Structure formats: structure tokens, C-alpha cells
Chain A
Amino acid sequence: MEPLERFESVEHVVDRFRAFEYVMTEQAATVVYLATRLQKPVLVEGPAGVGKTELAKTLASCSDRRLVRLQCYEGQDDTKALYEWDYGKQLLYTQLLRERIDTLLSGTTELAQAAERLRGQEDVFFSEHFLVERPLLEAIRSPEPTVLLIDEIDRADEQLEALMLEVLAEFQVTIPELGTLSARTQPWVIITSNTTRDVSEALKRRCLHLSLGYPSAERELDILRIKVPDVGEELLRKVVEVVRAVRQLDLRKAPSISEALDWARALTLLNVPSLDREVIEETISLIIKYDKDVERVQHELPRLLGIIDTAAPPTAHAHEQGDHHHGHTHPTSEEEAYHRHAQGYFGAIRSDSK
């Protein structure tokens, strides 16, 4: 199939992504649509596991473009991100071609003449041939259109960010040995960041900004439904409710969508018909990754169970509410109240509210 040239509209983006099992908010879709229209990179920020990387992967697969991925890490430099000049290969060529060079130069009497003749062959020694393409260069030199994913840019050093500026704004790379290589096809660029540090102003200015957060109950249920289709609606809804309630607790690492997915999948494998105290206790480690957090959740378990029993279903469909005849004490307001209380001291309010 031909790579997708462009999206027709925001709805088109939503539909394509949905066909590839990615449920996106209209906001995200608008930004993706704009990015592809304006040829701008998108900087996606948000907590781990809310689908930032997945967004890029899905963009690639739903537009039939090749995904080129640059995983950032501390201490990464241009030779790992952009390109490397393969001196070894160059040397080897020179060595192996020595005899040929001798024959080429035979018959010349003067040094200047030899140099002239050699100059005619310079391309052999300085060509893209000796260029080892790293992801950034690969993405813009690729003959077929690509999606370039620069993953977790906050892990990379700031120098690397500066290096990317030329690539991201102009889609070109300047190589001292060869000159400026410009893009054969303009890649769609997705940059993700977990905001462990602030990405530099210069980079942000060149990007469209999208912050992904935890999804609404409805969207999360939607995601689970698509990704884990063989689980009963009832169970999925409870999973969503519990995960959302756990997120409200003051944890070191709140569970995100990926954890919710893992959990739902695990529950299918275990063939669990419904969530009860025992099941939650046994499988809670799938969504909670720190011991202290587990303790905290165990402590709050009775309240969480209460949520499952009494919560109104997050969807608006009336028929799904059938077996819930309890009063609707929706958890949200209660939890907010709890949080306000836990703030402790006056000075905390400002920092926590962000």
C-alpha cells in the first residue's frame, strides 16, 4: 500500500488511529493533524505509560510510513544520533585501492599532474558511502517517507538537543566532509518526553506541544475494550474504576494506561470472572511497582472495594447501569476532599496544585 500523503481532516486522523487500535482525544488528533499539515515536529509530554511512544508507532503504521526510532540516553552524542564517519572503511578502501591508484597515476611525470588526476577521483574517498547513518540522518535520507520517533528526549544531554535543531527545523544535516544533506522526504517527527527535565526553549519553539495525561474514564474503558476485547464489559469497567481510584492516592508511581492494560490482560489469562478483594490483593503488583505504594494501596483496599460496589458506570449507556441499584456515591469529590486534606501545610498548596 502507498504511504499516506496527508490526513484529510481531524476526523480522518481519529478514524485511522482507531482502526489501528489507538483511541485518541480530539485534542491529540488535532495536534497530529496540524503537525502533518504544517510539517512540524510534535513534542509529546506526559507521565510514563500514557501512550506517547504508542502514538508515534501508530502514526507510522496507520500511514504506512516506516518508523525510525531514536532512543535517547544519557551521554549520547552525534555519532550515535546523527551520523558517523567511518574512518576505518575509508582507510581500508585507500589501502585496497592502492594498486589501482598506482596504475591511475602511472604515466604522470609531475607531482602536480598526479595530484590533478587524483583530484578527479576524490568522490571515491569522500562520499556518502563512508557515512554510517544514524536514526536522525536515516529518517531524512530515507527514499520512502518515514515517521521519526525521538523517544524520551529528556534523558539525552542538552547538547544533543542543540544538534537536533537543524534536523527538526530545516530537515537537513550539515556534514563537514560532504556539505549539507537535505531531506529526500520530510519525515513526520514525534518527540516524547517524561519531563524529568525541561526540554530547552529553542527546541520547544520549533515544535507543536501536546501534553498527554491520564485518560478520562470513558476513553480508558474504550482503550481497554479495543485492546483486550475478550474480557467482559463489567470486569473492564471495574478495572478502570479501581485504576482511577488508585491514581488518586498519593503514590510514587501512579498506574497509567499501560498498567491498566497489563492488568486487564492478566485477569483474562487468570480467567477471573470479577474483581474482589482476594483477586486485587494477588494481582495488585501488576499496576503498582513500588513496595511502599503496594502497602498504601492495601491499606486503602476497603475503600477501593467500596468504589467498585457503588460507583456509577463511567459510560453514559443506560442499559449498562442495570445491575447497579446502589446509591451513586461517585468517588471523585470524596477523593478530592481527601487530597486537600493531605496537603498538610500551607506552603504545599502551590506546588501540589501543578
Chain B
Amino acid sequence: MDAPILRFVGLLRQRGVRISPAETLDALRGLDAVSLARRESVKTALRATLIKEGRDEPVFDDLFEAFFSVDDRRRAGGHDHDHDHDHDEDEPAPPTQVKVSEEPPDFDDPSHSHELPADIAKYFDDDQLATAKRLHKDGTRIDLGGLSQELILGERKEDIEQAVAQLRHILHLRRLTNPGAPGKLALDGGEVVDADLTVGSVDHLPSLPPGSMLDEAQVEALRRQVDGVIANLPELLRRYLEKLMALERPAHSKEASPAYTAAFSEEERRRMDALLRRLGRELKGALSARRMTAARGRIHASRTIRANMRYGGLPFRPVLVAKRQDRPRLILLVDVSLSVRNTARFTIHLVHSLQSLFSQVRTFAFVSDLVDVTPYLERCELDEALGMIFGGEVLDIDANSNYGHALATFHREHLSAVNRRTTVLVLGDGRGNGNPPHVWVLDDIRRRARQLVWLTPEPERYWHLGRSDLPAYAELCDRVELVRDLDQLEAVAGSVLRPL
């Protein structure tokens, strides 16, 4: 009983779900309490004990389906999800399938998979090999799993070429310098090809020998050439790879991996941590002027006397007051275009690490369009989120900066987020490429916010070079600070973030 659950927990951890040993114990105790005969109660028991964040639930559901599939393996033959263990002890999973889920071989590069057949042969028993003797005829799918790829290509070459042509089309467009928002270009990009292609393999596909329409005999010959024993290797390979993909961490899949990784060097990380710790201490020391009733603090003489009139003026019940800490709110508007990217990276990192010190931090990234990136920063690891922001997956970062448009969008949609507790930080060089600057927006923000600070990576003497609207913006800001590196950011953070 315990072993499959531990393995299940291990797989969940592999997918980034944080599960403590205590929770694993809870899960085991929980399973003791519910009836194992009912799949739903097992699922609920595991979910309630292991999964504590809403965002982990889909991961759990997927894995549970894959891992504890109902035992219809025999009836369905090669069902997609059947590579796993049963929760019932009397029905141990066949060793072949345990093997598959336990040790997925290195699957990062499809070109490696041609080394697999020899290993795989051991994992599938001969019965299954004999029954599923059918090539994969569905032309809409490309499987690039080594051998199977070529066999399928041979059968439905024109379909494949068409699909590949579409792929190339999209790849080509992405190389344009200013293509508009990603995803808007190819809204109906034809069939979605269910495989990850490396550029190398795309190039390789059409260069197969012409007229390689293999007839049955040739296929047969090729099979024998590979290994006479494995009659339906392509089919097996396909299923094997599908299982692997299902078990592989989702982060490895194409959509989730950021194109740009905002890696911080160790030195930067260390200094950032030190800065954060210091800021944390300083912020704790920063108190508001108002004294409030508190559990411990100084005795407020007049209020104590007033409150203790009923005891004949004897101070039984001292009224204590202490200074309360005001936790500021922070709104960050960050230009993430190329010119200020480095500073933006640091600032977003800093501000979001400080999240615990603020009652609210919201971050908006813009180049031309303005996007609220707070959810990304909250839900993903910081590095991953930064990667998505700067990798152009959230907004089009190759557009021309348009401060006016971004500010107007903020004014229209998010101005209500600004109130007297809010500090608004704008980070950018103010170069709006001649678009209307909409300076009035800043005026509005300043009137509502407690503090409006502009951070720019450019020293003042460069402002008039090129077209910068910064002088106009600067007039309206409470302060304009020059921030080019960590030192300066440190200084600014210290003075800006401290509650007044």
C-alpha cells in the first residue's frame, strides 16, 4: 500500500507540488480511514491531504488519472493511461509497466530515441506485440520518435509535408522584428501538430529521399532490418513515448518553458538577498505617527484614568498605546522594452520579494500594451515569471514603446487601484517614440497616490537627446531617481519604500 503512494507523491513533487513528509503520512492515514474500493474516496482523501493550493489541483487530477487508472487494461488492450500501479494490493501492476514509469529514460532529445528499441523490447510481452500489429495510420499526427517517424512518413508523405510546411510558415513569421502581439498572427494556424520539433528535425523532414512511398514489403523489410522480433515497434514506440510524455514534468513541454531566462548571477542574488533583509529590518522599524490602542506599549495616562473611573480611579485596567505600522501599497509600472530591461528585471525582483512587507503589490508591464503581470509573479517562480514577461509571452515586447498609450490604459482600467496608501513607481526612460505622452494621466495618479516616483536608467543630461518625454513627466513626479545598478536601486528602495 505504502510504496505506490510514496511513488505517487514522488511524481507529484517532480511536477513542482510541494508535499511534506507529514502530509504524506496524513495521506496514508487518510487512506486507512476511507474505503479503498471507491475510487472517488481515494482520490478525495489523497487530494485533501496532499494538495493545498488550488493551482496544484489540475496537476493532481491529471496524475491521479494516469497513475491510478481503473483496471480495464485487459479489455482495452493498449489504453493510453495504463502504465501504472493499482491502489489495490491484490492486483500488482505488471512489472513491465512499473518499469516504464519508474525510470523514464532521457527524453529531452528525440534523436536519442533510436537507441531505445533494444531496451523497450524487454518491456513489452510478446502477446501484446502480436495483437497490436498495425501501423499508425492517422496522418494528422507526427510522431518523431525515432523509427516510427520514418515509417509514418513513408505512408502519408504529403500530409506530413503539408503539416511541416505550416510549421515552417509560423516559424518564419516569428522571426520578423515587429510582428504584433504573439498569437494574433496565426489565429487559425491549421492543425496543431502534437509533437515537439527541433529546428533540426524540421529541416530534416522534407529532405527524405523522394518517392519513399514504402509498400508493405518495404515496410516489412525495414522492420526486419531493425529487429525481426519487434513486429510492431512503431506502435509500441508511440505508446511508450506518449506515456513518457505524460509522466514528464509539464515544465518541459513547449508552452510552459520560457523563451528567455532571466538568470541572476550568484553575486546578484546574494546582494539582492542582503538588500531585502536590510529593507525588511528598516521597514519594521518605520512606524506611523498615530498611536493606537495595543496589547503592549506605553500607558496612555488620560485614557487610562477615563477607562478606570468605575474602579474609583484606581488604574486596574491600563490603556496601552503603541505606534502602528503602516504597510504601504505599491503599484509598479514597468517598461519592459529593451532599453530598460536590465533595470526592470532587478526592480520587479526586488518589489516582489518585498511582497510580504506590503499589503498589496501590483505590477504592470508595458511596452505599448499594458498588462497586469501580478498573477504571473504570484503564481510562478520568479525566474519563470520574469522569463515569460521578458520573453514576450505575456505581451509584445518588440513593439515600439508607447508611454502615452500604456498610461491611458492604466488610467482607464486600473486607476481605482491607486489610493492614498499607494506608492506608485514608474520605471522607464520616457521615450515614447513621438506618440502622444498623455502627461495628464500622471497628474491624476499623483493626486490620488501618496507618492509618485519615477525611476529612470538615464542620467538627466541625456534626457534631451533623442525624443524623451521624461522632462514633462518628471515635473509631475514627487521624485525622479536615477537607477542603473543595484547600488542605486538599494538607495532608492530604502528611501522610497519606507512609510512616511
- A34-B49, A88-B316 in contact; A27/B44 too (CB < 8 A)? yes
Query: Which residues, 282 to 326 on A, are CB-close (under 8 Å) to B?
Result: none
Query: Which residues, 1 to 24 on A, are CB-close (under 8 Å) to B?
Result: 9-10
- Measured between beta carbons, the chain B residues less than 8 angstroms from A78 are 295
Bound-complex Cα distance A10 to B38 (A): 11
Query: Closest residue of chain A to B394, judged by CB?
Result: A347
**Residue B395 lies at the interface, judged by CB distance under 8 Å to chain A:** yes
Number of interface residues of B (CB under 8 A): 41
- On whether the beta carbons of A33 and B54 are closer than 8 Å, the reply is no
- On whether the beta carbons of B33 and A34 are closer than 8 Å, the reply is yes
- On whether the beta carbons of A209 and B52 are closer than 8 Å, the reply is yes
Per-residue CB contact flags for chain A residues 192-207 toward chain B (1 = under 8 Å, else 0) read 0001001001001101
- A10-B41, A37-B33, A208-B49 in contact; A88/B317 too (CB < 8 A)? yes
- Measured between beta carbons, the chain B residues less than 8 angstroms from A42 are 48
- On whether the beta carbons of B183 and A346 are closer than 8 Å, the reply is yes
- Measured between beta carbons, the chain A residues less than 8 angstroms from B35 are 9-10
- A79-B295, A208-B49, A210-B48 in contact; A87/B316 too (CB < 8 A)? yes
**Residue A45 lies at the interface, judged by CB distance under 8 Å to chain B:** yes
Interchain CB contact (< 8 A) of A205 among B22, B184, B395: B22
- On whether the beta carbons of A30 and B44 are closer than 8 Å, the reply is yes
**Residue B369 lies at the interface, judged by CB distance under 8 Å to chain A:** yes
- A88-B311, A204-B52 in contact; A31/B376 too (CB < 8 A)? no
Query: Closest residue of chain A to B40, judged by CB?
Result: A26
**Residue A38 lies at the interface, judged by CB distance under 8 Å to chain B:** yes
- On whether the beta carbons of B376 and A30 are closer than 8 Å, the reply is no
- A38-B30, A88-B311, A347-B395 in contact; A205/B44 too (CB < 8 A)? no
Name A's interface SS.
helix
- Measured between beta carbons, the chain B residues less than 8 angstroms from A198 are 53
**Residue B162 lies at the interface, judged by CB distance under 8 Å to chain A:** no
- On whether the beta carbons of B48 and A30 are closer than 8 Å, the reply is yes
Q: How large is the interface on A (under 10, 10 to 19, 20 to 34, 35 or more residues)?
A: 35 or more
Per-residue CB contact flags for chain A residues 22-49 toward chain B (1 = under 8 Å, else 0) read 0000110011011001101011010000
Bound-complex Cα distance A79 to B372 (A): 39
- On whether the beta carbons of A77 and B295 are closer than 8 Å, the reply is yes
Query: Closest residue of chain A to B44, judged by CB?
Result: A30
- Measured between beta carbons, the chain B residues less than 8 angstroms from A351 are 372, 375-376
Bound-complex Cα distance A38 to B28 (A): 11
Query: Closest residue of chain A to B360, judged by CB?
Result: A197
- Measured between beta carbons, the chain A residues less than 8 angstroms from B48 are 30-31, 34, 42, 208-210
- On whether the beta carbons of B394 and A354 are closer than 8 Å, the reply is no
**Residue A92 lies at the interface, judged by CB distance under 8 Å to chain B:** yes
Bound-complex Cα distance A354 to B54 (A): 8
B27 CB → nearest A CB, Å: 10
**Residue A211 lies at the interface, judged by CB distance under 8 Å to chain B:** yes
- On whether the beta carbons of B34 and A33 are closer than 8 Å, the reply is yes
Bound-complex Cα distance A195 to B53 (A): 11
**Residue A350 lies at the interface, judged by CB distance under 8 Å to chain B:** yes
Interchain CB contact (< 8 A) of A91 among B47, B295, B316: B316
- Measured between beta carbons, the chain B residues less than 8 angstroms from A204 are 52-53
- On whether the beta carbons of B26 and A38 are closer than 8 Å, the reply is yes
Query: Closest residue of chain B to A199, judged by CB?
Result: B52
Given A209-B48, A347-B395, output 4 extra A-B contacts at Cβ < 8 Å. Answer: A26-B44, A33-B33, A91-B316, A201-B52
A-B complex: 4 closest residue pairs judged by Cβ atoms: A346-B183, A88-B316, A204-B52, A30-B44
A-B contact pairs, 13 of them (CB 8 A): A30-B48, A34-B49, A38-B26, A42-B48, A79-B295, A198-B53, A204-B52, A208-B26, A208-B30, A345-B181, A345-B369, A347-B393, A351-B376
Q: B residues bordering A, Cβ < 8 Å?
A: 18, 20, 22-23, 26, 29-30, 33-35, 40-41, 44-45, 47-49, 51-55, 57, 181-184, 295, 311, 316-318, 369, 371-372, 375-376, 379, 393-395
Q: A residues bordering B, Cβ < 8 Å?
A: 9-10, 26-27, 30-31, 33-34, 37-38, 40, 42-43, 45, 77-79, 87-88, 91-92, 195, 198, 201, 204-205, 207-211, 345-347, 350-351, 354
